[in-house]
Amino acid sequence: MLLVAEPVLGEEEKAALHSVIDSGWITMGNGVSAFERAFAKMHMADDAVAVSSCTAGLHLALEALGIGAGDEVLVPSLTFVATANSVIYCGAVPVFVDIVSTHQPLLSLVDAAAKCTPRTKAVVIMHYAGYLADRDAWCAFARARGLKLIEDSAHAVGTGRAGLSGDATVFSFFGNKNMTTAEGGMVLARDPAVIERMKRLRSHGMTASTLDRLNGHALTYDVTALGYNYRMDDLRAAIGLVQLRQIDDWNARRETLTDVYRQAIARLCPTIEIPFESHQVSAHHILSILLPEAADRRHVMVRMREGGIQTTVHYPPVHLLSYYIDRSPRVYLPITEAFARRELTLPLHPRMIEHHIELVVSTLANILGELGSPLVPQAAKLAAVL
């Protein structure tokens, strides 16, 4: 089965894990600090906070930036549910904002402006599929309204190194992301005081760590805030350090594969739309396409699976999930809903070869051809020749 996403793990990761195990220290220690320093350096930041997940990082960032009960936070609905959940963890209210268009499925500045109220305190942008949102425009938007700007950069590891534009940026190292630590995340923040607050909150609000006490740097500890256990550990950090060295090569490979997809789809499946322009800056996290209006996506997904190809949907819109419909009146986001109805995610990861893409696209062309879409029979014939 050709999977939508697959981690690249090998001998170097195994060796790194072995040496952590042999060191006798497996929880948060010098390995986590080394990973934080390397990640910060790559992003031209002074420091970073490694956490147990991107979800934990989003929660910490919002809380450390002062978001709390009764505040409203502008969020996309075309995202993973964690983006909005983390706002609710803070006691704040997520306010869903539509996307620009089905061709630019990134948060709309116009709709965000329309949804601001006196209670709006922050905006979370998400770099869908790895394509960077216009961060200068969002900074100006946030500054003009006195809002905190948080980037959910779960799709965008390895892009936009030119420092921080917003108040905090949160990355994910989950197993299907561009680099992985199995579970894990990282937070960058502009204000060193926010970094310090997050470091304390990720470990129960304690003033000293277990390692500090072991090393004799501290004899006891105080707790100064209600914190959490959101720590990363040295095992995961060791994997992360190895992965970090390869992220540029992997992202370059993703870009090449995306270009091959664009050409093959234009040739074989002209009724399919591909969001974004090929020259836009991206980490190419997923290969997202829009099926023709008339196509039955469920049927396409079943038939692709029969052909040995996994496909998924990014995303069921958060505002239409049962929990969100139950907790607040149904909001209407016409462009997000139109996009999500037609979206299909095809396999994309650095272990794929060009031949896989021909296979995926010709299989798709055949399935769409059976459905009798007007432009497709010709594409199906071409696919048969391949």
**Helix extents (H) in 148-285:** 192-201, 210-214, 234-244, 247-268
226's tokens: 């209600």
Window of 74-82, 160-168, 200-208, 369-377 that interacts with ligand PLP by CB under 6 A: 74-82
Q: Which stretch binds ligand PLP (CB under 6 A): 76-84, 97-105, 291-299, 357-365?
A: 76-84
Q: Is 126 in the site for ligand PLP (CB under 6 A)?
A: yes
Contact 4, 348 (CB under 8 A): yes
Position of tokens 């004799």?
216
Of the two residues 154 and 265, which places its CB atom closer to ligand PLP in the complex? 154
Judged by CB under 6 A, which of 138, 141, 174, 324 binds ligand PLP? Answer: 174
Residue 35 in contact with ligand PLP, rule: CB under 6 A: no
User: Binders of ligand PLP: how many residues, by CB under 6 A?
Assistant: 14
Tokens of 204: 């129960």
Structural contact between residues 166 and 138, judged by C-beta atoms closer than 8 angstroms: yes
Based on the shown chain and the rule CB under 6 A, indicate whether residue 123 belongs to the binding site for ligand PLP. no
Q: Please tell me the distance from the alpha carbon of residue 274 to that of residue 297, in angstroms, as a whole number.
A: 16
CB 8 within 8 A of CB 250: yes
Sign of torsion over alpha carbons 265, 262, 336, 61: positive
CB 226 to ligand PLP: min, Å: 21
DSSP SS3 for 286: coil
Query: Which residues, in sequence order, are CB contacts of 330 under 8 Å at separation 6+?
Result: 319
The correct pick among 4, 5, 53, 340 for binding ligand PLP (CB under 6 A) is 53
Q: Which amino acid appears at position 306 of this protein?
A: E
Stretch that binds ligand PLP, among 24-32, 79-87, 109-117, 252-260 (CB under 6 A): 79-87
Q: Does 318 bind ligand PLP (CB under 6 A)?
A: no
Assess whether the previous peptide bond of 89 is cis (omega < 30° from 0). no
Q: How far apart are CA 286 and CA 177, in angstroms?
A: 9
Among 55, 209, 311, 336, binds ligand PLP (CB under 6 A): 55
Which of 154, 156, 291, 309 is close enough to bind ligand PLP by CB under 6 A? 154
Least distance from ligand PLP to the Cβ atom of residue 12, Å: 22
Residues annotated as catalytic are 177
Select from 8-16, 53-61, 97-105, 106-114 the region that touches ligand PLP (CB under 6 A).
Answer: 53-61
* Site stretch for ligand PLP (CB under 6 A), options 50-58, 108-116, 324-332, 368-376: 50-58
Which H helix or E strand runs over 34? helix 30-42
Min CB(379)–ligand PLP separation in Å: 31
Cβ atoms of 343 and 286 within 8 Å: the answer is no
- Choose among 298, 291, 337: nearest CA to 316: 337
170 vs 379, beta carbon nearer ligand PLP? 170
Whose CA is closest to 3, among 366, 360, 365, 364?
360
By CB under 6 A, is residue 79 in contact with ligand PLP? yes
User: Minimum distance between the CB of residue 284 and ligand PLP, rounded to whole angstroms?
Assistant: 14
**Does residue number 80 form part of the binding site for ligand PLP (CB under 6 A)?**
yes
Binding site for ligand PLP (CB under 6 A): 53-55, 79-80, 82-83, 126, 152, 154-155, 172, 174, 185
